């Protein structure tokens, strides 16, 4: 079993627009295929075994360009998925680049 999965995507939008979209937990079902609904610190995931309700906490920092999603599964300790923007690093591209790292909580 892998402990992490690193993926990179390019978002052709200004930093504030992309950051606001990613930091809003209500948008997760629009871009994270496992999320079916999000409301009041809870989320419902679609899994091979059916729907799964989890706890969800989102911490976002515009200053550092990070968004952390802490998910608490019914039988497990919390795990965190993180995204970061290398906005503070020099880049020859005008687009924002986001990296998504999923830790041991990544489920198949």
* CATH code, 66: 3.30.530.20
Separation between Cα atoms, residue 93 and residue 66, nearest integer Å: 19
The number of distinct structural domains making up the chain is 1
Give the number of other CB atoms < 10 A from CB of residue 88: 10
Q: What's residue 101's pLDDT?
A: 40
3-state secondary structure of 57: strand
Separation between Cα atoms, residue 57 and residue 80, nearest integer Å: 9
Q: What's residue 47's pLDDT?
A: 87
Q: What is the DSSP letter of 107?
A: -
Q: How many angstroms from the chain centroid is the CA of residue 83?
A: 6
pLDDT of 94 above 70:
no
Q: Is residue 44 a part of any domain in this protein?
A: no
Domain that holds residue 15: 5-24+56-102
Q: Is residue 17 a part of any domain in this protein?
A: yes
Q: Is residue 107 a part of any domain in this protein?
A: no
Separation between Cα atoms, residue 80 and residue 3, nearest integer Å: 12
3-state helix, strand, coil in the chain (%, to 5): 20, 45, 35
Q: Is residue 39 a part of any domain in this protein?
A: no
Q: What's residue 89's pLDDT?
A: 40
- Is 85:15 a contact under the CB 8 Å cutoff? yes
Q: Is residue 97 a part of any domain in this protein?
A: yes
pLDDT of 77 above 50:
yes
Q: Is residue 70 a part of any domain in this protein?
A: yes
pTM above 0.85, yes or no: no
Q: Is residue 64 a part of any domain in this protein?
A: yes
Q: In this predicted model, what pLDDT tens digit does every residue of 19-75 receive, in sequence order?
A: 899 999 999 999 888 899 999 999 999 988 899 999 999 999 988 888 888 888 887
Task: Quickly state the pLDDT bin for 97 (edges 50, 70, 90).
Answer: very low
């Amino acid at each position: 079993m892998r402990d992490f999965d690193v993926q990179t995507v390019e978002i052709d939008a200004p930093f504030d627009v992309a950051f606001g979209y990613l930091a809003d937990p209500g948008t997760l079902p629009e871009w994270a295929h496992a999320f079916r609904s999000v409301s009041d610190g809870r989320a419902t995931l679609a899994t091979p075994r059916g729907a799964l309700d989890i706890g969800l906490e989102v911490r976002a920092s515009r200053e550092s360009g990070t968004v952390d999603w802490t998910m608490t599964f019914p039988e497990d300790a919390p795990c965190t998925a993180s995204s970061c923007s290398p906005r503070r690093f020099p880049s020859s591209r005008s687009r924002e680049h986001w990296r998504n790292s999923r830790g041991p909580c990544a489920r198949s």
